[in-house]
Structure 1
Amino acid sequence: MISVSIAGGWGRAASADRAASAIPWDALRQADRRAAARWRIAGVADRRATVVPWARVPALDVLQAGRWGVAGMLDAQAIAQPWNRVPAKDLAVASGWDHTMQPRDLRLRLIYNPKPARKDLAIAAGHRRVNEYGPRFNAETALQDSLYVPGTGALVFEFGGRPYFPSTSPEVFFDFRYVPATPAIQPTDMRRTRVRWQSARRLNLGRTLPWGRARQVDGVLTDLPYVDYPGPVKPLPEPPPDPTILDTYMIANTVNLVALPSRTPIAAKNIRIGLDADSFSWSFSADIFTRAALELVQPDAEGAGELELDINGWTWVVLVERYSRKQQFPAEAYTITGATRGQLLAAPYAPLRSGLNAAQINAAQAAEAELLNTGFTLAWQATDWTFPAGALSYQSQTAMQVIAKLAETIGGVVLPARDSDHLDIVPRYPLPPWQWNDVDAPITRVIPPAMMTDLGGEWTPQPAWNACYTSGTSVGCSMLVRRAGTAGDNPTPDVFDDWLTDQPANQARGTHELSKGGNIEIVSVTIPLFPFADDHGVGLILPAHLYRVPEESGPWVGLCLGVDISAEGTGAVRVSQQIRLERHH
């Protein structure tokens, strides 16, 4: 039989109860053992004594004890605090473990885009989906569907046949402002380009040329496939048009020489103008007849006189630097000489300067810096390289001297413009001579033998160099440039230059030195100067350009070293240009 009246409530005793009882914890346990029977199955004798069937509780027991699990108010107050209430002394250190969160609070976990906390408002934006498949939004046509689009002027209304003019402080006014809704972001490449995820080579097959098999340049080919080249692709130059071959060429030469800025015509004869690859300005000379014409072009307080020369549509602007008189009874003649405006960057016009780069700079930037506040422009079309800080230094040099020295460092030349303040920096050899017959050689013009009036040649052979050692001096690098496919056993004299400070410069200079070797012939050719607008002729020949000559024995390519244009005879009616071509056999 189990006694219920001696069992205590489940909880923590208060401090006052512990002090009043003063009963040790183990002693209380022993007292409970004496008062209660052990937990076991009751014997038969116990069942006869109680005469109470098993699982039936007498009515007296029901009235004297509470049911299991529900404590009375008196017992709860006498023995312990409620189960889910924490005493006041514990509130400052910890919170109770309870179920204060209500079911309605669980909805916050189901929101896809909850409002971020205040600390995140300044650093992050909400995550929303873009308008991927909606109609394309066009800001220019967004208001075309509206019935009325107000302009920038005042609005005029008709009320009762009279125009409406709002007062300065009306009680009622109209506001037609329209604020369009901000459209959602739309992907621009989803529906128009439709680019598939695949190799880019397939997309460019229709716009590029096949590479073909590689040309053997050094060693034995390994037959390895070429990888895709991710860099820029230089397109093949278009072949020059073939000039029209005729039995007779009739050219109405026009030669005009005027003084600037008045544009007064000047009668002249024996006009010559020319340019070679080592010059930075066109040279000019002419014979004039009168003293009055000389006074128009001779130097004065404002500087050297300027002339404009027009030969068959090709125009030059020259400075008259010198003149001389030749008197012979009964007439006198004056000879004037000069150069184009590129001479203004050299002595005696340009001042001498010294410079040292304080920061890293490349050659093109250094050349452009020399032209500041001069009105000249420059196009660097040669190899560019870098100067470390303190490597680019010079003393008492003009602007043209510095630019020409930069071009000479990599084997380049300065090509001046004919009638403007512009300079082009180009390599003397656009390609090495052993590559002039390649398909991608940049041929400028075709000079047919049928147009040649004079032809001559001079044999100037040089050693067949195949290697060149280039190096800087105090700053820079050293490099052995060897012609591909050769042993490099016949080197040129070593090249040392203060401004060879980077590998591209060393390689360009070494290639230039190797290009000067071999069996060379200087071919002199005289051809007419066709008009500027004539597309069927050869045109003006310029230095540092490649030209093809289709002779009967076989076509060959030559590099122009210089050109001289002459207009002779009465009224300068006989015009021709004599060119010098460097041919490598």
Structure 2
Amino acid sequence: MWVDAKVADRRIKALWVSAAPPADIAPARSEWGVSQVADQSRLISSRLPLLVAIETRRRAVWGVSQIADLVTHLPGSDGLVLVATHVARRAIWGLAETADNRTYSPWGMGRIADSGTSVVVEPGDPNEPDAPVIIPILKAYIVINSASLSRVSNNLALPAFGLSMSIDDRSAHWTWSASLPLAALADIEPDAPGQLVELEAVVNGCVFRLFIQSVREREAFLGSGLAIGGRGLAAELSAPNYPVSAHNNIGGAMTAQQLAAEALSINGVPLGWSLDWQAADWLVPAGVWLHSGTPLDAVVTLAAAAGAYVQADPAARALHVLPRYPVAPWDWSTATPAVVLPASAVLDRGTEHVIGAGYNVVYVSGQEQGIRARVKRLGTAGDVAAEMIVDRLITHADAARGRGLEVLARSGARQVTTLETGVLPVSGLLHVGTLMDWTRGGVARRGLVRSLRVSVSVPSGQSRDPIKVRQTVEVETRG
């Protein structure tokens, strides 16, 4: 049973922006970032062309590379075997990288729900990096929802009736929409023609920075209003707000992460964006990287070459580059989930069954200065091949392995489960890329979050109904 708590003080419920709970009931909030440094790869240098097999141990780059004169066959713990069958040039690399999945664990202390009830959730020891956030099984979840929308330039509160923000693993952008009264039109006008208007939304303590990119007015006999929307801060880095430009490494070899960081600058001057690179990194020889597009396009292209994707931070000017499968689906059973969601905390559930061919091998190839690799799932015959992947950025076995893992992991039968729940203090938002458990009929299931949508509904007029806040996630699972 879900109970939306009534507002503690009726004076703060006149407008959405003033509907935050008083300071004495506001939750104490401290975000613990869980991250671990991956193993370091060793420098390999050879006077001859190399045949190399690179594997991964426990979501991190393994530290043992071997030089092979014919074919090296090194099975890994994640069930893949990668064999580089051709190297077109001399390879020198020694890259350390962080391959742990981005984890969000905002801890929420107990807070007063009304004069006689308090809900206290024990988050566990934040010093345990692998400890999941376990949402307790309760008969009722009492949450005092709060939401506000304001203009950043002058901190002007906007009386929104509803708000929605969403993102998925197919797009780096947060997209959003909101409903406002028609009288608020003057409050969202740009300071100068063509200038983006930045808003800040705060939902149950979670902050979003948003740009207005569309405004629609509506007038009718029974009512009028504004429908506004747009994208998050990453709109600064993409069309139509940022012009197309050329990106290359003609001047010398650079790693993929270095190329992405360079794309986020102009003549060596940073654009003000940070880069959180958690995917495979590899050396790209001089002249291989030739790209025309916006800075965000460049980062997305580099990430995709190694089977990764990009997510813009909801509130900061930061891009997160994440492996699409930090753990292969066939190894999910041995991994530690970041969040455990019980059935009692789920408001709605639906499942879509996706049928696809189950590939167990794929050939990945670069071009002029690239390598050719055969990526096979360990323990299989390697007799069902996916379509060959050709990408000029496949110049290293690490990139080939990441791309091959993505192809094999997403093949076969899978389910996409939609779960609706609240934004609880113990768990916060269930971000894309989170490995999570949930239960159905007493059976625990595990999967990766692929999309997130946060919605806010504000009662109109003199209604005494509380603000409703919901988050809906799509989770990819197997079996």
Above 0.5 in TM-score? yes
Query: Aligned partners of 1:287, 1:233: CA distance in 2, in Å?
Result: 41
Superposed CA deviations along residues 466-491 of structure 1, whole A, max 9, x for unmatched, are 10100012220000000011110111
- Aligned AA (1:558): G
Superposed CA deviations along residues 176-198 of structure 1, whole A, max 9, x for unmatched, are xxxxxxxxxxxxxxxxxxxxxxx
* 8 Å Cα contact 1:237/1:442 also seen in 2: no
Q: Does 1:564 align with 2:453?
A: yes
Q: How does 1:87-236 map to 2 (within 5 A)?
A: none
Superposed CA deviations along residues 447-506 of structure 1, whole A, max 9, x for unmatched, are 111111111011102111110100012220000000011110111111111111111100
* 8 Å Cα contact 1:307/1:317 also seen in 2: yes
Query: Aligned partners of 2:228, 2:377: CA distance in 1, in Å?
Result: 48
Cross-structure match for 2:226: 334
How far does residue 299 in structure 1 lie from its aligned partner after superposition? Answer: 3.1
| Aligned-residue identity in percent | 26
Cross-structure match for 1:549: 438
Find 2:469's aligned residue among 575, 579, 583.
575
Cross-structure match for 1:7: none
Secondary structure, counterpart of 2:450 in structure 1: strand
> May I ask how many residue pairs the two structures share in their alignment?
352
- How has the CA–CA distance of structure 1 residues 237 and 556 changed in structure 2, closer, same or farther, with 3 Å as cutoff? farther
Q: Does 1:297 align with 2:188?
A: yes
Cross-structure match for 1:514: 408
Q: Does 1:410 align with 2:306?
A: yes
How far does residue 233 in structure 1 lie from its aligned partner after superposition? Answer: 12
Cross-structure match for 2:374: 480
Secondary structure, counterpart of 2:322 in structure 1: strand
- Aligned AA (1:309): A
How far does residue 333 in structure 1 lie from its aligned partner after superposition? Answer: 0.5
Secondary structure, counterpart of 1:347 in structure 2: coil
Query: Aligned partners of 1:393, 1:216: CA distance in 2, in Å?
Result: 33
Secondary structure, counterpart of 2:304 in structure 1: helix
Query: Aligned partners of 1:401, 1:563: CA distance in 2, in Å?
Result: 22
- Aligned AA (2:159): A
How far does residue 217 in structure 1 lie from its aligned partner after superposition? Answer: 5.9
Query: Aligned partners of 2:80, 2:374: CA distance in 1, in Å?
Result: 15
Q: Does 1:502 align with 2:393?
A: no
Superposed CA deviations along residues 286-320 of structure 1, whole A, max 9, x for unmatched, are 010033x2222233416111111011000111000
Cross-structure match for 2:419: 525
* 8 Å Cα contact 2:216/2:226 also seen in 1: yes
Cross-structure match for 1:386: 283
Secondary structure, counterpart of 1:437 in structure 2: helix
* 8 Å Cα contact 1:280/1:343 also seen in 2: no
Which runs of 4 or more aligned residues in structure 1 lie more than 3 Å from their structure 2 counterparts after TM superposition?
A: 214-219, 231-237, 550-553
Superposed CA deviations along residues 49-101 of structure 1, whole A, max 9, x for unmatched, are xxxxxxxxxxxxxxxxxxxxxxxxxxxxxxxxxxxxxxxxxxxxxxxxxxxxx
- Aligned AA (2:319): L
Q: How does 1:448-459 map to 2 (within 5 A)?
A: 448-459=342-353
Q: Does 1:366 align with 2:259?
A: yes
Point out where structure 1 has 5 or more consecutive residues left out of the alignment. Answer: 1-213, 220-230
- How has the CA–CA distance of structure 1 residues 577 and 215 changed in structure 2, closer, same or farther, with 3 Å as cutoff? closer
Superposed CA deviations along residues 301-350 of structure 1, whole A, max 9, x for unmatched, are 16111111011000111000110011112531010001111110001111
- How has the CA–CA distance of structure 1 residues 526 and 573 changed in structure 2, closer, same or farther, with 3 Å as cutoff? same
Cross-structure match for 1:108: none
Length-normalised TM-score, structure 2: 0.70
Cross-structure match for 2:385: 491
Secondary structure, counterpart of 2:272 in structure 1: coil
Query: Aligned partners of 1:232, 1:473: CA distance in 2, in Å?
Result: 25
Find 2:144's aligned residue among 235, 252, 274.
252
> What is the Cα-based RMSD across aligned positions, in Å?
2.3
Query: Aligned partners of 1:282, 1:478: CA distance in 2, in Å?
Result: 36
- How has the CA–CA distance of structure 1 residues 399 and 233 changed in structure 2, closer, same or farther, with 3 Å as cutoff? closer
Query: Aligned partners of 1:339, 1:497: CA distance in 2, in Å?
Result: 30
- Aligned AA (2:390): F
Q: Does 1:346 align with 2:254?
A: no
- How has the CA–CA distance of structure 1 residues 567 and 234 changed in structure 2, closer, same or farther, with 3 Å as cutoff? closer
Query: Aligned partners of 2:317, 2:80: CA distance in 1, in Å?
Result: 44
Secondary structure, counterpart of 1:336 in structure 2: strand
Length-normalised TM-score, structure 1: 0.58
Query: Aligned partners of 1:558, 1:242: CA distance in 2, in Å?
Result: 15
Secondary structure, counterpart of 1:369 in structure 2: helix
- How has the CA–CA distance of structure 1 residues 215 and 500 changed in structure 2, closer, same or farther, with 3 Å as cutoff? closer
How far does residue 218 in structure 1 lie from its aligned partner after superposition? Answer: 8.9
- How has the CA–CA distance of structure 1 residues 266 and 462 changed in structure 2, closer, same or farther, with 3 Å as cutoff? same
Point out where structure 2 has 5 or more consecutive residues left out of the alignment. Answer: 1-75, 82-95, 101-127, 461-465
* 8 Å Cα contact 1:456/1:525 also seen in 2: yes
Query: Aligned partners of 2:79, 2:297: CA distance in 1, in Å?
Result: 38
Query: Aligned partners of 2:365, 2:80: CA distance in 1, in Å?
Result: 23
Cross-structure match for 2:103: none
- Aligned AA (1:512): E
- Aligned AA (1:546): L
Query: Aligned partners of 1:493, 1:305: CA distance in 2, in Å?
Result: 45
* 8 Å Cα contact 2:247/2:263 also seen in 1: no
- How has the CA–CA distance of structure 1 residues 216 and 584 changed in structure 2, closer, same or farther, with 3 Å as cutoff? closer
Superposed CA deviations along residues 328-379 of structure 1, whole A, max 9, x for unmatched, are 1253101000111111000111121113212110000000011123111101
The higher radius of gyration belongs to: 1
Cross-structure match for 2:113: none
- How has the CA–CA distance of structure 1 residues 560 and 389 changed in structure 2, closer, same or farther, with 3 Å as cutoff? same
Secondary structure, counterpart of 2:344 in structure 1: helix
* 8 Å Cα contact 1:353/1:398 also seen in 2: yes
Query: Aligned partners of 1:215, 1:263: CA distance in 2, in Å?
Result: 52
Q: Does 1:445 align with 2:339?
A: yes
Higher RCO (CA-CA < 8 Å; seq separation 6+): 2
Find 1:398's aligned residue among 286, 294, 297.
294
Cross-structure match for 2:207: 315
Query: Aligned partners of 1:232, 1:386: CA distance in 2, in Å?
Result: 12
Instruction: Give the number of the structure whose residues are more often strand, by fraction.
Output: 2
Query: Aligned partners of 1:239, 1:521: CA distance in 2, in Å?
Result: 26
Q: Does 1:462 align with 2:359?
A: no
- How has the CA–CA distance of structure 1 residues 474 and 215 changed in structure 2, closer, same or farther, with 3 Å as cutoff? closer
Query: Aligned partners of 2:311, 2:336: CA distance in 1, in Å?
Result: 17
* 8 Å Cα contact 1:297/1:306 also seen in 2: no
Superposed CA deviations along residues 10-57 of structure 1, whole A, max 9, x for unmatched, are xxxxxxxxxxxxxxxxxxxxxxxxxxxxxxxxxxxxxxxxxxxxxxxx
* 8 Å Cα contact 2:78/2:327 also seen in 1: no
Query: Aligned partners of 2:446, 2:276: CA distance in 1, in Å?
Result: 26
Query: Aligned partners of 1:259, 1:246: CA distance in 2, in Å?
Result: 38
Query: Aligned partners of 1:233, 1:569: CA distance in 2, in Å?
Result: 41
- How has the CA–CA distance of structure 1 residues 390 and 218 changed in structure 2, closer, same or farther, with 3 Å as cutoff? closer
- Aligned AA (1:540): L
Query: Aligned partners of 2:372, 2:452: CA distance in 1, in Å?
Result: 36
- How has the CA–CA distance of structure 1 residues 516 and 554 changed in structure 2, closer, same or farther, with 3 Å as cutoff? same
